[in-house]
Structure 1
Amino acid sequence: MNLDYIWRDLHELAETSFKEVKTTDYIANMLEREGVRVQLFKKHTGLIAEIGSGEPVIGFRADMDALWQEVNGEMKANHSCGHDAHMTIGIGTLLALKKNEASLKGTFRCIFQPAEEQGNGSLSVINSGGADGLKMLFGVHLRPKDELSFGEAAPSISHGGGIFFEGKITGEDLHGARPHQGTNAIEAGFALQQQLHTVRISPMIPHSVKMTSFHAGASNYNIIPGSATFALDVRAQTNEAMDELKKLIDEKIRALSTMLNVKIEGYWIDYTPGAAVNEDAEAVMREAIVHELGDEALRPRVVTPGSDDFHFYTIEKPELKAVMLGLGADLEPGLHHPDMRFNHDCLEQGVRVISRAVGLAMEE
């Protein structure tokens, strides 16, 4: 089983959220040839693949989508978050366990999930029945080198929550010589940015609020723009802190709209919840890491402000025990960097750890 060959194919097939058509076909065709049971989702891209039979049903989630970004001057779909590696580990685990399928004490289900980067692909899988019947669910994410080095692994990742706000400032354009006749949307945006710096919750909880997009004006420089669009990226380590941040931001926007006498409105989109790490699943993953990589490889839980829609599985299905493996890969310069690179030997390590975790979970 040449994991690097599979990774290269998936890397070249990079597709964005809910457009992973070629990726879905590639995985389905490969696994069917190997005798793995495959079921495509009817309403969206992605698939589930199973081996073994009966209960318990132990799952692994592999995210499929790539980011749309500029790479060497070209805008393209690019796997700079490591989802190509995650899919490779999922395929590798299926094929490794398939060799001794008769010895499995249950069913192993690999969920190849679309649209993690959009933040709601997991909800589509859940609504399609892809997570039904699962007892325990594992995930994996390659970690940057400043968190974990190659050969190291963490039994869980505690992601923070994330959400976007898409907003609009609505007013009337003004003549450049008559700024007193209305509100400059650029000045309103600047004032909003200043107000966002005054949003405060407990400093004991990691959080951030920042404007990540602002567009106003056109090609005529003698027109003062009355309207603009903007976007906010909001993050918090806990879901409770996220609720508090949203409330404070809504209040700031309403107050500023009244003070400037201009309409400022918008809506929250693409919410991704913070992690709720299950201790039983974490204990299984910890034992799997030690068994496969040794005591010296085990590292503490990774706490990161990054987010992942993996955690919708436990929110929507509270009975499901879930955890995500943090896999060291000497990943540089960082996640989402267009030139992201990593040590591909981690793929084999990921297959070993997840395969062991599946076996341990079935024995519980």
Structure 2
Amino acid sequence: MNTKKIAEKIISEFHWFHAHPELSYEEFNTTARIRQNLQAEGIDIINLPLQTGLVAEVGTGQPPIVAIRCDIDALPVQEETDLSYKSQTDGKMHACGHDFHTASILGAVYILKQHEKELKGTVRIIFQPGEEAPGGALKILETGVLADVQVIFGLHSSSLFPVGVAAIRAGAVTAAVDRFEIIFNGEGTHAAHPQNGIDPIVAASAFVTAVQSVVSRNADPFAADLISITHFQGGNTWNVIPEQVYLEGTTRTLKTNDRNMVRQRIYDLSEYIAKAYGATAKIIWHDGPPATANDKEWTKFAEKIAQQNGLIVEPSPDSLGGEDFAFYQEKIKGVFVLIGTGLSYPNHNPHFQIDSAALFPTAEYMAQLSAHALEQIKK
């Protein structure tokens, strides 16, 4: 395909992906569509034990090896746009730009294939499932397909920047994300006779209030830490003190020490506050992805290639959002880039939209970034 055909093709595929969203680890049709497109252009697909998602390869098949990654899953959001290609599935929407990621990286693969004989090594292209789960990155890592990769690049759409902007910054760009569940157990009784029971609602409420002091009193005032209680459930009628209250929430941190401290304080507060009220507390902790950690030297390189491709480079904004690309960066040097896709409603909003004008410039940038990275490693 020539440049014009690639540009037209990835817009068409972007529309298809947007209209056919699939949730984490359910991306069977999405994977089949990606596979079909790659096979039509003679692009090698690595045989891996993945139910959804895939990894392709372009180049010599020999080191050096770099990787580029996109995610392919959608969200359980009901779309509320007027797009001609809006979601055809109730309750599911590409409200985080993964359709854009997939289509633009597909374009990058096409461009790399055109110049395959000029590549100074191998580019592995990851179409990753389950980022929103999160944890799809771990599924890819478990296959061993990235064991010999020397640097990895990822991208994410950003509604904070216009088309033509690449936001890049060394260090943490997104936060470590953990989820916790807490069950406060008391003793149920009649609401008129609280002395005959142990009220878990009072204990859980005291915890909700106290836990807010962790960030303000235990963390460095200049640190970017956050604790949010997002789910509080207890009781089912007006005149009964229940046996149990269920809490759920999330923590967001940028530094490992803060991540460990916040977790320990949540454990301590829940245990001792429950005990003070005569109740007990059980915590179920779910470790999520760590904070992204963009490599300093490769970040400078990514900025240079962006400028050479006519993109305006801005620093990535502070964010406590999570991104499982960080799992790759624990093993491999890497850079996570934000791509301006037009000012719009924020990610995960039912009115979220992408300007398709960003597709081909992004495809070109990611192709150039990976090709020049091979040359950089060869030096």
Normalised by the shorter chain, which TM-score bucket?
Answer: over 0.9
- Render the CA deviation track for 1:140-180: whole Å, top value 9, x for unaligned: 011132xx232211234711111100121223322222222
Q: Give the number of aligned pairs.
A: 356
How big is the shift at 1:115?
1.1
Aligned counterpart, 2:324: 309
- Render the CA deviation track for 1:222-272: whole Å, top value 9, x for unaligned: 222121211111101222211111111111111111111112111211411
Matched, 1:62 2:70: yes
User: Of 187, 191, 195, which aligns to 1:176?
Assistant: 191
Aligned counterpart, 1:260: 277
User: Of 24, 43, 46, which aligns to 2:31?
Assistant: 24
TM-score with structure 2 setting the length: 0.89
Q: Percent identity?
A: 26
How big is the shift at 1:75?
5.8
Name the CA distance, whole Å, in 2 between partners of 1:337 and 1:48.
29
How big is the shift at 1:27?
0.6
How big is the shift at 1:186?
2.5
RMSD: 1.8
User: Of 237, 246, 249, which aligns to 2:254?
Assistant: 237
Asked if structure 1 preserves the Cα contact closer than 8 Å seen for 2:77 and 2:95, the reply is no
How big is the shift at 1:83?
0.8
Name the CA distance, whole Å, in 1 between partners of 2:143 and 2:194.
54
Name the CA distance, whole Å, in 1 between partners of 2:343 and 2:97.
9
How big is the shift at 1:331?
3.9
- Render the CA deviation track for 1:36-61: whole Å, top value 9, x for unaligned: 11135424421001111211111111
- Render the CA deviation track for 1:89-122: whole Å, top value 9, x for unaligned: 1101001111121111111111111111122111
Asked if structure 1 preserves the Cα contact closer than 8 Å seen for 2:67 and 2:123, the reply is yes
User: Of 18, 40, 43, which aligns to 1:33?
Assistant: 40
Where 1:9 maps in the other structure, the secondary structure is helix
Where 1:221 maps in the other structure, the secondary structure is coil
Name the CA distance, whole Å, in 1 between partners of 2:37 and 2:356.
21
- Render the CA deviation track for 1:195-237: whole Å, top value 9, x for unaligned: 111113111111111101111122x432221212111111012
1:62-141 pair list within 5 angstroms: 62-72=70-80, 76-141=91-156
TM-score with structure 1 setting the length: 0.93
Where 1:60 maps in the other structure, the secondary structure is strand
| Consecutive unaligned residues in structure 2, runs of 5 or more | 1-5, 81-88
1:148-187 pair list within 5 angstroms: 148-156=161-169, 158-187=173-202
Asked if structure 2 preserves the Cα contact closer than 8 Å seen for 1:17 and 1:117, the reply is yes
Aligned counterpart, 2:59: 52
Of 127-136 and 175-184, deviating more is 175-184
Asked if structure 2 preserves the Cα contact closer than 8 Å seen for 1:331 and 1:340, the reply is no
Matched, 1:217 2:235: yes
Asked if structure 1 preserves the Cα contact closer than 8 Å seen for 2:123 and 2:371, the reply is no
4+ residue segments displaced more than 6 Å: none
Matched, 1:208 2:221: no
Asked if structure 2 preserves the Cα contact closer than 8 Å seen for 1:155 and 1:289, the reply is no
Which one has a larger percent strand, Structure 1 or Structure 2? 1
How big is the shift at 1:283?
1.9
Name the CA distance, whole Å, in 2 between partners of 1:21 and 1:171.
45
